Amino acid sequence: MRYAIVSDVHGNLEALQSAFELILATDSVLCLGDIVGYGPNPNECVELIRARATATVLGNHDVAAVDNFGLSYFNPTAREAMEWTQTVLTADNVAWLNGLGYEFRVPEFLLVHGAPVTYFEYILDKPAAARAFAATDAPLIFVGHTHIAEAYTLRADGAIDHKHFQQGGTFTLEEGSRYLVNVGSVGQPRDLNPRASFAFYEPELARISINRFDYPIARVQEKIACAHLPDALARRLVVGR
């Protein structure tokens, strides 16, 4: 049994298709939200996730697409892209997004877009990670939202360790520790590595790997231009920020 955990696809179909080339048919796909927003293929990305994911939670861009929630806090570029996204999303895909919940919990792990309970909080440092661990009893928490692949470990002695996965990597879950894993972003990485990111989780081996992989960025940039989306959204993909 292996889980493939994807997040922050943001309408980037080429990156999502490249991820699915690495994900096997036997893997169970989990999605941490922000399927839409920024990118030129929101419908195609929603449909791929609908077809493939066994659990999906809402991201802030998904909620904004459905009912404008939080749109006033978006920066001008994000807002312009969201207004475009709202014009192209099909009613059927909007209805599907509207039916998603904010969290998915099984005994072994919790899925949320940004943080437990405060769903759209950005976990960017150890104090925020400590609050997240305190807000849930889940031994393993998967998040996205910041588009930065990294992991926090709450050790049995109460200390928190932190590690970036800018170039990917694998680690083993140790008995007595709890983990908060940011799987990074499929469609718009922001940790200064333009390669897309997602995680594999193998419960039997207590092993998590963060995978960084190339996808045809130039093709997405062409589509962003064709859709008359802000040019900044094309430029940021090559620098990963």
Q: How far is the CB of 157 from Zn ion (least distance, A)?
A: 33
- Strands (DSSP E) contained in the chain are 3-6, 28-31, 53-56, 103-105, 110-112, 140-143, 149-154, 160-164, 169-172, 178-183, 196-202, 207-213
SS3 160: strand
Of 62 and 178, which CB lies nearer to Zn ion in the complex structure?
A: 62
Q: Which residues pair with 169 in a beta bridge?
A: 210
Of 147 and 178, which CB lies nearer to Zn ion in the complex structure?
A: 147
Of 34 and 191, which CB lies nearer to Zn ion in the complex structure?
A: 34
Q: How far is the CB of 34 from Zn ion (least distance, A)?
A: 4
Positions touching Zn ion (CB under 5 A) are 8, 34
Write down the residue that tokens 């062409």 correspond to: 222
Q: How far is the CB of 33 from Zn ion (least distance, A)?
A: 8
Of 52 and 190, which CB lies nearer to Zn ion in the complex structure?
A: 190
Question: What percent of the chain is helix, strand and coil (3-state, nearest 5)?
Answer: 35, 25, 40
Write down the residue that tokens 């939670």 correspond to: 57
Of 14 and 34, which CB lies nearer to Zn ion in the complex structure?
A: 34
Q: How far is the CB of 185 from Zn ion (least distance, A)?
A: 6
Q: How far is the CB of 176 from Zn ion (least distance, A)?
A: 32
- Asked if residues 121 and 143 have their Cβ atoms less than 8 Å apart, the reply is no
